[in-house]
Amino acid sequence: MTKMPNMLPKDAASPDEAASFLRDNPTIEAIDLVLIDANGIGRGKIIRRHELMGLYERGRHLPISILGLDVAGNDVPETGLIWDEGDKDLRAWPIVGSLCALYGTSPPRAEVMVALYELDGQPMACDPRHALAQQITKLSEQGLQASAAFELEFFLFGPKFGPDRRPMALNALDGPLGRAKTNVYSLEQIHGFLPLFSDIYAACASAQIQAETVISEYAPGQFELTLKYRSNVLAAAQDLVRLKRIVRAQARRHALEACFMAKPLADEAGSGMHMHISIYDARGCNAFAETQPDTWHPDLRHAIGGLRATMGDAMVIFAPFANSWRRFAGELYAPVQPSWGGNNRSVALRVPLSDPDQRRIEHRAAGVDANPYLVATVVLAGLRLGLVKSIDPGPETKGNGYVADVGPNAPQLPADWRDAIAQATQSEFLKTALGPALHRSFLAIKAAEYRAFSKSISDVELDLYFGTV
């Protein structure tokens, strides 16, 4: 029997980090070990206090199949990550700076984020975090660095169900939805949930996540939390997945359910996960900042050109589930075509109003159900392609982007989930952006989910056709 290698990855956290944490947190009894899978879902184990040092010194075995699961946690053998590999163990290693105490747990628990590696210490190619790290490296090879932040939109539902057996949105912790169905930017709506948001901010502080503004969004019971801009895109994506875990955990402490479906209510706006991104050169200067008054910088235009050109191939990343596609409805604050423009919320790629040296792109295509690591991966890959090939973005959209003509040469977006999977499967851009292994496994998962969804018979079908045709 050969001894299995135990190679420490070059980017793994130091055991000193764990030793300091245990010394400073003597009451912690257990630690959530969290790996983010292809669907952006946190999976892993809960380990006991005495096991933490072992994680930092030797890593922790996790089965390769953990990255070959569908959204419901079922094996997808077509990924090649299940029985083709004998469901072998790989090794998870902790991510630097991710170990933190969890707020409001009893008994006290902590959390540590991990990434998956081969036994020789090389990054596991199907781990979405590693795909993003690879794009960051490629950008740095061009002398560029990206900064980013995400916005998190979500719904809060109460414990009671309506007459249609569906969850009911709330406008306060102590009451159901009132007469006003839409109450965008309502301070009273937020005040009705202040105990919850106070706990969310406290939990973020414990996790060293800088959550910022909260607003009441367009639909009843819908809110948005923004995150502080990060100079490290990996940290920005990690902030988002941890914020989702925090919101869900704190909502449950208040007997509520936080919902991260893209479109939980048929007649209301859906929930997005907008990504704000800037590019800086080797001198630390914003590459998108204008050098001439009232003229977009060529690098900004080319980056937008790349994002437009690749948006169709990447839509399965931005809208990864059947429900994701219900969000794209005209004049409900979700883009329906690959348009761009300045200070315009009806386009897919918005250049927000800002000082020129703060210029950035807001990518508005992704739903809140998307995996932020993968979203950031294809966004970086798209804008990098635009910069390398100097891609013309086409005409800027003025006014209503839902009806505006985006030009005869505008790239076409897939019509639905099925088309998005098919287009992504054939996409050389997406294969290069994700890497062949992750491209294969992710699309296998999406195809399996589509097959499962297609075989189900909905209540709508029964209502329409049972006894009528």
Q: Are residues 115 and 37 in the same domain?
A: yes
Nearest CA to 151 out of 202, 233, 212 is that of 212
CA atoms of 358 and 442, how far apart (whole Å)? 35
Q: In this structure, is residue 233 part of a structural domain?
A: yes
Q: What pLDDT does residue 331 have?
A: 56
Domain C-terminal end among 69, 91, 124? 124
Q: Measured between alpha carbons, how far is 390 from 377 in angstroms, rounded to an integer?
A: 20
Average pLDDT (178-207) is: 84
Does 175 share its domain with 219?
A: yes
Beta strand ranges found along 79-139 (DSSP E): 89-94, 100-101, 109-117
The total number of structural domains that make up the chain:
2
* 223 located within any domain: yes
CA distance 227 to 214: 10
Distance of CA 383 to the CA centre of its chain: 18
Residue 182 and residue 320 in one domain: yes
Query: How many Å separate Cα 444 from the centre of its chain?
Result: 19
Are 63 and 212 found together in one domain?
Answer: no
Highest mean pLDDT pick, 175-179, 216-220, 255-259: 255-259
Residue span of the structural domain in which 91 resides? 15-124
Q: Which CATH number do you get for residue 189?
A: 3.30.590.10
Short-list 55, 58, 16, CA closest to 34: 55
Say whether 136 sits in a helix, a strand or coil. Answer: helix
Break the chain down into helix, strand, coil percent, rounded to 5: 35, 20, 40
CB 102 within 8 A of CB 203: yes
Q: Which residues contact 255 (CB under 8 A, 6 or more apart)?
A: 158, 159
Question: pLDDT > 70: what percent of the chain?
Answer: 93
Of 90, 124, 158, which residue constitutes the final position of a domain?
Answer: 124
Q: What is the pLDDT of residues 295-316, one digit of tens each?
A: 999 999 999 999 999 999 999 9
Max distance between CA atoms of the chain, in angstroms, equals 71
CA–CA distance, 22 with 16 (Å, rounded to integer): 10
Tens digits of residue pLDDT in 50-87: 999 999 999 999 999 999 999 999 999 999 999 999 99
In a domain, 259, yes or no: yes
Please check whether residue 444 is in contact with residue 79, taking contact to mean a CB–CB distance below 8 angstroms. yes
pLDDT-derived band at 172 (thresholds 50, 70, 90) equals low
Among 181, 189, 255, 250, residue whose Cα is nearest residue 224 = 189
Q: Is 138 exposed, middle or buried (0-12, 13-18, 19+ CB in 10 A)?
A: middle
Instruction: Give the predicted TM-score (pTM) of the model.
Output: 0.94
| Distance of alpha carbon 56 from alpha carbon 15, whole angstroms | 5
Q: Which range is most confident: 5-9, 165-169, 244-248, 328-332?
A: 244-248
- Where helices occur in 153-209 by DSSP H, the ranges are 187-191, 194-206
Q: What CA–CA distance (Å, rounded) separates 158 from 192?
A: 13
Q: How far apart are CA 143 and CA 141, in angstroms?
A: 5
Mean pLDDT across the chain, nearest whole number? Answer: 92
Domain check: are 151 and 105 in the same one? no
Least confident residue range of 4-8, 75-79, 265-269? 4-8
- Check whether residue 245 and residue 172 sit in a common domain: yes
- 179 assigned to some structural domain: yes
Let me know whether 158 and 306 are in one domain: yes
Q: Who has greater pLDDT, 172 or 139?
A: 139
Decide: 425 and 443 in contact? Cβ < 8 Å.
yes
Within-domain flag for 397: yes
Closest CA to 122 of 6, 5, 37, 9: 9
Closest to 129 measured CA to CA, from 35, 65, 49, 19: 35
The reply to whether 358 and 228 lie within a common domain is yes
Residue 3: count of CB within 10 angstroms of its CB = 5
Q: Where are the alpha helices (DSSP H) in 254-346?
A: 298-318
Distance CA 306, CA 321 (A): 24
Q: What is the pLDDT of residue 180?
A: 45
